């Protein structure tokens, strides 16, 4: 794991963690599990934090459990993909819609270096909401209470209390308060 975006250099220990995560993810995705069983499987993957009231609807595609932290009362809907070598933090109360992709990993543009793997962390803020089919790219922070509209691709940080939409996602307005 390389949270500063430097070249990723694999190790046998890291490879073992990835293999363990994917094995447990296959178990998670192989049948129905209670919420408690799902959280136990996430803990077996080595996730940094799995709050007792967080929820995940399988299938969940994840490559590196130790890179992920799930806050209190957060929710991930069906079919999410977490490429987590760079580290993913999902804040308390965050909602992640179906088929979202959080990709901390990327490759250099230069063809001679394209096979190198780089990483930067992703942080999803407290009470943030990612609509269906949102993609969040490496190095992005989605601020507290922000909303990312369905189908958006987030390439830059999203300020707190902001609605963003589009490809690439751009600010649409501030969150309405009653």
- Show which residues are catalytic: 107
Predicted local distance difference test score (pLDDT) of residue 10: 63
Q: What is the pLDDT of residues 29-52, one digit of tens each?
A: 999 999 999 999 999 999 999 999
- How far apart CA 53 and CA 32 sit, in angstroms, is 18
Q: What is the pLDDT of residues 87-99, one digit of tens each?
A: 999 999 999 999 9
Residue 4 has pLDDT above 50, yes or no: no
Q: Which residues in 82-112 are b (16+ Cβ under 10 Å) and which e? A: bbbbbbbbbbbbbbbbbbbbbbbbbeeeeee
> pLDDT > 90: what percent of the chain?
88
Q: What are the residues whose beta carbons fall under 8 Å from the beta carbon of 83, sequence distance 6 or more?
A: 63, 64, 101, 102, 103, 104, 105
- Averaged pLDDT for residues 115-135: 96
Would you place residue 5 in the very low, low, confident or very high pLDDT band (cuts 50, 70, 90)? Answer: very low
Superfamily of domain 7-105+117-140: Hexapeptide repeat proteins (2.160.10.10)
Q: What is the pLDDT of residues 51-71, one digit of tens each?
A: 999 999 999 999 999 999 999
Q: What is the mean pLDDT of the chain?
A: 93
Task: Return the number of other C-beta atoms located less than 10 Å from residue 153's C-beta.
Answer: 15
Burial of 146 (0-12, 13-18, 19+ CB in 10 A): buried
Predicted local distance difference test score (pLDDT) of residue 130: 98
Q: Contact at 8 Å (CB) between 159 and 171? A: yes
Where are the domains positioned within the chain?
A: 7-105+117-140
pTM, two decimals, is: 0.92
């Amino acid at each position: 794991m390389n949270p500063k975006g430097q070249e990723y250099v694999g190790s046998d220990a890291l490879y073992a963690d990835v293999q363990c995560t994917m094995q447990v993810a296959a178990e998670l995705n192989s049948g129905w599990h209670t919420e408690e069983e799902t959280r136990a499987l996430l803990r077996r993957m080595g996730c940094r934090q799995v709050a007792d009231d967080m929820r995940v609807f399988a299938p969940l595609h994840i490559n590196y459990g130790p890179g992920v932290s799930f806050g209190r009362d957060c929710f991930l809907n069906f079919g999410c993909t977490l490429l987590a070598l760079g580290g993913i933090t999902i804040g308390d109360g965050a909602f992640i819609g179906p088929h979202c992709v959080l990709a901390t990993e990327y490759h250099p543009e230069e063809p001679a270096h394209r096979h190198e793997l780089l990483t930067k962390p992703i942080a999803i803020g407290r009470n943030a909401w990612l609509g269906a089919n949102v993609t969040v790219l490496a190095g992005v922070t989605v601020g507290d209470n922000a909303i990312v509209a369905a189908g958006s691709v987030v390439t830059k940080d999203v300020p707190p209390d902001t609605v963003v939409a589009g490809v690439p996602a751009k600010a649409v307005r501030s969150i309405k308060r009653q």
